[in-house]
Amino acid sequence: MQPRDYGLWAEQLVNSAAGDVDAIGTVAGLREFLASLDQPPGRVSAADVTATNRLREELGAVFHAGDGEARVAMVRAAVATLDVRFEVTEHDGTPHLHLARAGAGAATFLRTAAYFGLAALLAEGFADRLGVCAAPGCERVFIDTSRNGMRRFCGPTHAARVNVREHRRRRQAGAT
Ligand SMILES: [Zn+2]
Ligand SMILES: [Zn+2]
């Protein structure tokens, strides 16, 4: 993991609410979510589920923020409340950084990791690269780490669908 990779956890957390089923609405769901991040679930309680839901709304607001400046202010305020522990590991042969969970519950750990990652992204100049999908009705969010920074959609499916629609509209406009 690079520090900013933890920012993707924030993205995944917010998007876990976007499907038909709330992926982290139960203790089992939250355990599964942690496993999907390659984290041992450890201790997960009903209180963690409630707190993670709150965290998800908090993080959603960061993605919906009007501009990069507002976003930096939000992340700065949240970061001031964190108790961050990290370690240098070499489990894959190269030294890199991992956040240490120590005794933290699931929600606290996710909050620390998400804001740590967002802070790293902001520090690397990505404050204006967090966004909400432009497809009608889609609430999914994304972090645009592309070179040109022109990303507008949550993924290729929505990009393709909207592009087809826009193309059709242009063609119709041309025909009349
Ligand atoms: Zn690692
Ligand atoms: Zn979308």
Question: What global pTM score does this model have?
Answer: 0.90
Kindly identify the ligand whose nearest atom is closest to the C-alpha of 18.
2
pLDDT for residue 16: 93
Kindly identify the ligand whose nearest atom is closest to the C-alpha of 142.
2
Give distance in angstroms: CA of 92 to centre of ligand 1: 6
Distance CA 47, CA 53 (A): 10
pLDDT at 73 over 60: yes
Reported confidence tier of residue 176, pLDDT bands at 50, 70, 90? low
Kindly identify the ligand whose nearest atom is closest to the C-alpha of 155.
2
Give distance in angstroms: CA of 102 to centre of ligand 1: 16
Q: What is the mean pLDDT of the chain?
A: 92
pLDDT for residue 175: 63
Give distance in angstroms: CA of 168 to centre of ligand 1: 46
Q: Which amino acid is at 87?
A: E
Kindly identify the ligand whose nearest atom is closest to the C-alpha of 162.
2
Give distance in angstroms: CA of 129 to centre of ligand 2: 16
Q: Contact 88/95 with Cβ under 8 angstroms?
A: yes
Distance CA 47, CA 60 (A): 20
pLDDT at 95 over 60: yes
Reported confidence tier of residue 57, pLDDT bands at 50, 70, 90? very high
Q: Contact 153/139 with Cβ under 8 angstroms?
A: no
Give me the domains of the chain, ranges plus CATH numbers. Answer: 3-127 (1.10.3300.10)
Reported confidence tier of residue 52, pLDDT bands at 50, 70, 90? very high
SS (H, E, C) the chain: CCHHHHHHHHHHHHHCCCCCCCCCCCHHHHHHHHHHCCCCCCCCCHHHHHHHHHHHHHHHHHHHCCCHHHHHHHHHHHHCCCCCCEEEECCCCCCEEEECCCCCCHHHHHHHHHHHHHHHHHHCCCHHHEEECCCCCCCCEEECCCCCCCCCCCCHHHHHHHHHHHHHHHHHHHHC
What is the tens place of the pLDDT at every residue in 115-165?
Answer: 999 999 999 999 999 999 999 999 999 999 999 999 999 999 998 888 888
pLDDT for residue 2: 87
pLDDT at 62 over 80: yes
